């Protein structure tokens, strides 16, 4: 087999893995958009906040320690204990649910029935608030996150591919885990949305707020639930990205990578987020591999957006988006 083809296969596999990570972020967007029609600009910051909180809890950091020290002249930073990863993840989830409640209670509850653009602006405000709040609460330094997920080259794949092609593929264990977790998450979310009572109510709210109210669905409950779910997805994305590249401000920018994924997959489709993520991941890696050298590289920065633009022109609802039903 020619070397080029083997390299292309490795690039393809790595693209799939990167795509899964994009998809994880896109999922959070889809959930909130589906249930409330809000395009949640704060999803990336939500992932950053979740990761910061997780690290903070694991390391036994004192929340708001800088603020406390500045006001009272004390010098406290750590409680001096370490919380095991699983317990810390559960505690972080509690924080995310509390955050979901607060977001609904203080912001979106008061904006029922407003224009989508107003809701969108509110999420931009929320993004900036949360970014600053996270900094004050846990400090702005770059943190290392290790919840015990295996990292580094997967030796099994390396050896098997070496046996076949005479060349070992480099696949990161963490990426494999991310794929597994994402698959699990998507299956769970789809089952929840399609077959559970609250999932059905969530889709009902997405279709028609007023009608949902009229049959006794509590919008407040559904929205807190949806923001909690988005918080959970953000936490998973935060763990994966945080483990890969450290917990820092740039984590919140992954939201920008999720945008083209959404345009491709459709804003309202959970499986669409995954497929869109994979296409973008594979597409940008293969494009960089094949075309990149001809144009001087760095195609990964714009490839996804060009692809998304093409989709906007020819299929605006995305691959799996709900067709807009309009009876005349």
Partner 1 sequence: MLDAGKTDEALLEVNNIEVIYNHVILVLKGVSLKVPKGGITALLGGNGAGKTTTLKAISNLLKSERGEVTKGTIRYRGERVQDLLPSDLVKMGVVQVMEGRHCFEHLTIEENLLTGAYTRGIGRAELDADLEMVYDYFPRLKERRRSQAGYTSGGEQQMCAIGRALMARPETILLDEPSMGLAPQLVEQIFEIVKSLNEKEGYTFLLAEQNTNVALRFAHHGYILESGRVVMDGPAAALRENPDVKEFYLGVSDEGRKSFRDVRSYRRRKRWLS
Q: Measured from the CB of residue 221, what is the shortest distance to partner 1 in angstroms?
A: 9
11/222 with CB nearer partner 1: 222
Q: Residue 4 or 194: which CB sits closer to partner 1?
A: 194
Residue with the two structure tokens 């998973």: 236
Closest to partner 1 by CB, 151 or 194: 194
What's the rounded Cα separation, in Å, for the pair 260 and 224?
27
Min dist. Cβ of residue 106 to partner 1 (A): 18
**Minimum distance from residue 33 beta carbon to partner 1 (Å):** 13
Task: Give the span between the Cα atoms of 194 and 44, in whole angstroms.
Answer: 26
Task: Name residue 247's beta-bridge partners.
Answer: 143
The token pair that represents 15 in the structure block: 């693209």
Alpha-carbon distances of 305 from 206, 240, 293, rounded to whole Å: 27, 23, 19
In the bound state with partner 1, the residue whose beta carbon lies nearer, of 26 and 212, is 212
DSSP letter for each residue of 193-245: HHHSHHHHHHHHHHH-HHHHHHTT--HHHHHHHHHHHHHHHHHHHHHHHHHHH
Report the nearest approach of partner 1 to the CB of residue 102 (Å). Answer: 20
- Whichever of 73 and 214 has its CB closer to partner 1, that residue is 214
**Cβ 308 to partner 1 shortest distance, Å:** 24
Structure tokens at 247: 């917990």
Which residues of this chain interact with partner 1, rule CB under 8 A? 112-113, 197, 200-201, 203-204, 206-218, 322, 325, 327
CB of 239 within 8 A of CB of 146? no
């Amino acid at each position: 087999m020619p070397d080029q083809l083997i390299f292309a296969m490795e690039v393809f596999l790595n693209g799939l893995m990167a795509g899964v990570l994009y998809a994880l972020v896109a999922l959070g967007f889809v959930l909130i958009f589906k249930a409330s029609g809000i395009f949640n600009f704060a999803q990336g910051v939500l992932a950053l906040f979740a990761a910061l909180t997780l690290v903070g809890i694991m390391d036994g950091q004192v929340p708001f320690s800088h603020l406390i020290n500045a006001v009272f002249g004390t010098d406290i930073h750590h409680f001096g204990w370490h919380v095991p990863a699983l317990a810390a993840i559960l505690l972080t989830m509690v924080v995310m649910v509390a955050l979901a409640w607060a977001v609904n209670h203080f912001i979106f509850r008061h904006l029922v029935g407003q224009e989508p653009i107003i809701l969108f602006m509110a999420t931009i405000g929320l993004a900036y608030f949360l970014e600053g709040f996270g900094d004050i609460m846990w400090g702005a330094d770059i943190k290392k996150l290790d919840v015990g997920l295996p990292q580094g080259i997967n030796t099994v794949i390396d050896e098997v591919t070496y046996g076949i092609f005479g060349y070992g593929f480099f696949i990161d264990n963490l990426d494999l885990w991310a794929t597994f977790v994402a698959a699990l998450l998507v299956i769970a979310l789809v089952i929840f949305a399609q077959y559970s009572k609250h999932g059905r109510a969530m889709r009902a709210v997405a279709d028609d707020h007023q009608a949902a109210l009229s049959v006794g669905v509590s919008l407040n409950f559904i929205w807190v639930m949806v923001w909690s779910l988005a918080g959970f997805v953000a936490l998973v994305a935060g763990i994966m990205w945080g483990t890969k590249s450290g917990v820092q401000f740039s984590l919140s920018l992954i939201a920008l990578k999720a945008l083209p994924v959404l345009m491709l997959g459709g804003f309202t489709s959970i499986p669409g987020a995954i497929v869109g993520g994979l296409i973008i991941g594979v597409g940008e890696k293969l494009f960089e591999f094949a075309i990149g050298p001809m144009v001087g590289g760095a195609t990964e920065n714009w490839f996804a957006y060009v692809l998304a633009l093409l989709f906007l022109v020819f299929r605006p609802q995305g691959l799996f988006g709900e067709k807009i039903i309009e009876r005349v």
